[in-house]
Structure 1
Amino acid sequence: MANRLANALIWIRIGLVVLVLATTTLVLLPIQLVAIRFELPVRRRLPRWWHRVARRAIGVRVHLHGLPAKGRPLLLASNHVSWLDITVLGSVADVAYIAKSEVRNWPIFGLFARLQRSVFIERSDKRGTGRQISDVAQRLKAGEIVVLFAEGTTSDGNAVLDFKSSLFGAASATLPFAEEGVVLVQPVAIAYTRVHGMAMGRYHRTLAAWPGDVEMIPSLLGVLREGAIDVDVSFGAPVRFTEESRRKTVAREAETAVRRMMAARLRGR
């Protein structure tokens, strides 16, 4: 009897979260479509409002360590643990994403990724890489904060994978438009640290993590069942990308900073 009641309460919670997200989407969607059509400034702020509602409804609490740099152009180079990362970062700042093409088809979050005018990368489309990088450069040129999940995939949340240097080419493509000949590449570390107020261990961090072999819907339902997840988001010192910079060098420097910040947060520092 107790188990049935517990399961019923879980499904009631999931239903309420879905209702909140659906209602918020129905309210903001037409406004965002008009804002995009007429290029109104509010088109950059509306997704943040949606992500804030979504984050709170799901039960995710964000602990900020630092803030996005004020200088522009600004590319955020972050590790990638879960689909939750999009809502976490999207609730903190007005950002656009560089995302893999599969994100287009994600439930709910894929819709808002499109409405944030994310740049979707076709990994198999080698010929289109230059065009995709040019799209990112145009966003950076316009003063938007662009997020690059630099590992190219999701991890188990316990360690940072090697950063892929290829899309750091967007920083290079933006240099001709940068007033001072500098593009800022800011390392960002996302670390899921607690669930229901208790520290996550190495084996419990998969509650929030979304490794590549897990389907989207089971992961989404798993997070909605748990709720009460704490995540630490750390912003490091920006790396200056100039004409003399090399993509691989900047990628390694950003990767090292993210590893250091993530390790500190996982140790509770």
Structure 2
Amino acid sequence: MINWLRVGLYLIVLLVVSGLLIPVQLLALRFDWPLRRRLPRRWHRLALWFLGIRVHVHGTLDTRRPLMIAANHASWKDILVLGSLADVTFIAKTEVGSWPVFGFLARLQKTIFVVREEKRRTGDQVNEIAARMADGEIVVLFPEGTTSDGNRILGIKSSLFGAAAAALPDEDDAVVHVQPVAIAYTRVQGMPMGRYHRPIAGWPGDVGLMEHLMGVLRAGALDVDVTFGETVEFKKGDSRKALAIRIEEQLRTLLLAHLRGRHRR
């Protein structure tokens, strides 16, 4: 009973604050105020507090631009985690835009929606990503192309790095910086996360959104380790396949180090 009272109180606080922030964000989007990039970070931090998710950061975000973050993807919680650490914009499949609640929140953050099945629209989508990066925005890509169980790295799709190539400035020595970021859900209530709780880390495809959300709330405090890896410089003439291999190697190494308890906090 006490646990549900806590959940109810947190939900009320989240709804009240969201009700205050959403009109401001809508105005910021309408008039393209710089605030539109900063406000979502405050909301993400509040949402993490509401869910009881504690973020532990290892390494630092690269300060160079243009910058693309390539992260592994376990569930919708990754959005909150990364969004709480930096003023970022996400690349998501177009279906996300129609999801209840999450679709609306994604549009508030000016998420870039892509339709991978329609080749004729690929050029426009890549150009938008490139334009946002050229404007100094940090773009987050989940190069696995889907969510996993949080225990492994799925195959990285090199085609998704086309945006990095498109974002290259015209200069011959131009560089786009691609930084791998590993997200590892490691502990529940301060204890190492075992097999029983792994479904809370990932988001199985056969579990509804609200059902999964309630499972996270019932589990209590979650710890997630976020590790910023070594940035890979992508230049004109470089291979996207080689870039994908380097990013995948780093993500796999960093993720397994945390899941196996080999990385110090």
TM-score calculated relative to the size of structure 2: 0.94
- 1:217 aligned to which of 194, 210, 234: 210
Does 1:113 find its partner at 2:99? no
| Structure 2: gaps spanning 5 or more residues | none
SS in structure 1 at match of 2:89: strand
- 1:167 aligned to which of 160, 165, 172: 160
Number of the residue aligned with 1:133: 126
- 2:86 aligned to which of 76, 90, 93: 93
Structure 1 window deviating more from structure 2 (18-27 vs 30-39): it is: 18-27
Contact 2:69 2:179 in 1 (8 A): yes
Number of the residue aligned with 2:151: 158
CA-atom RMSD in angstroms: 1.6
SS in structure 2 at match of 1:204: helix
> For 1:127 and 1:49, how far apart are their aligned partners in 2?
37
SS in structure 2 at match of 1:219: helix
> For 1:166 and 1:36, how far apart are their aligned partners in 2?
30
Does 1:44 find its partner at 2:15? no
Residues 179-233 of structure 1, C-alpha deviations (whole Å, 9 max, x = no match): 9500000001000000000001244221221123322111111112222000000
- 1:72 aligned to which of 65, 77, 81: 65
Structure 1 window deviating more from structure 2 (213-222 vs 187-196): it is: 213-222
> For 1:203 and 1:179, how far apart are their aligned partners in 2?
52
Number of the residue aligned with 2:184: 191
Number of the residue aligned with 2:228: 235
> For 1:157 and 1:202, how far apart are their aligned partners in 2?
11
Q: Which amino acid aligns with 1:267?
A: R
Number of the residue aligned with 2:116: 123
Number of the residue aligned with 1:206: 199
- 2:54 aligned to which of 23, 47, 61: 61
SS in structure 1 at match of 2:62: coil
Describe the shift of the 1:121–1:55 C-alpha distance in structure 2 as closer, same or farther (beyond 3 A).
same
Residues 107-154 of structure 1, C-alpha deviations (whole Å, 9 max, x = no match): 433322111111112232222111111111111011000100111111
Contact 2:165 2:236 in 1 (8 A): yes
Does 1:32 find its partner at 2:25? yes
Number of the residue aligned with 1:22: 15
| Structure 1: gaps spanning 5 or more residues | 1-7
SS in structure 1 at match of 2:169: helix
Contact 2:203 2:212 in 1 (8 A): yes
- 2:255 aligned to which of 253, 262, 266: 262
Q: Which amino acid aligns with 1:233?
A: V
Contact 2:172 2:236 in 1 (8 A): no
Residues 153-178 of structure 1, C-alpha deviations (whole Å, 9 max, x = no match): 11011111011111201011011257
